[in-house]
Structure 1
Amino acid sequence: MRISDFWRLMDDEFGAGYSRVLSSSLVLAGVGGRTADDALSAGYSPRDVWLALCDVQDVPAERRLGRDIKPSDGGRGAY
């Protein structure tokens, strides 16, 4: 997982504003008692940080991969 994927998942699940509050203030046992921001800075993988955050926030398994977005048909419409 890339850091951009981490932030997309955070924003989708918690909203753009609240995701920044969580990342800077919520201490996560799964990454050594660090906040998400500190864990990412310390070199933890974005995936590990995301999963630790999901555990603490009780994000259901079906939402841990992000929301389903239907692919665009390129403006062609259905035939």
Structure 2
Amino acid sequence: MRLTEFWRRLEQAFGAGYARSIAADQAFSDLGGRTIDEAIAQGIGTATIWRAVVAAYPDRVPSQLH
């Protein structure tokens, strides 16, 4: 998944402001305790990061975005 698609999905699920807050502040266990921003900076693929978001927020992410 391209980075632009990742951000589009995250913003669609959480809203632009909250998506950026989650990316900077929320540590995900499926990412080894990294935030989204840290995971991207460390070269973890966006598909892997997206799966971690979906796992952490199964009721928040619409099924069409899975």
TM-score range normalised by the length of the shorter chain:
0.7 to 0.9
Q: Percent identity of the aligned residues?
A: 31
Considering only CA atoms, is the larger Rg found in Structure 1 or Structure 2? 1
Structure with the larger helix share: 2
CA distance 1:11–1:60, shift in 2 (3 Å): closer
Deviations 1:15-66 (A, max 9, x none): 000000000111111111100000010010011111101111124572333x
Per the normalisation by structure 1, the TM-score is: 0.74
Q: How many residues of Structure 1 are paired with residues of Structure 2 in the alignment?
A: 65
Q: Which ranges of structure 2 fall in alignment gaps of 5 or more residues?
A: none
Structure with the larger strand share: 1
What RMSD in Å do the two structures reach over aligned CA positions?
Answer: 1.5
CA distance 1:43–1:57, shift in 2 (3 Å): same
1:44 corresponds to: 44
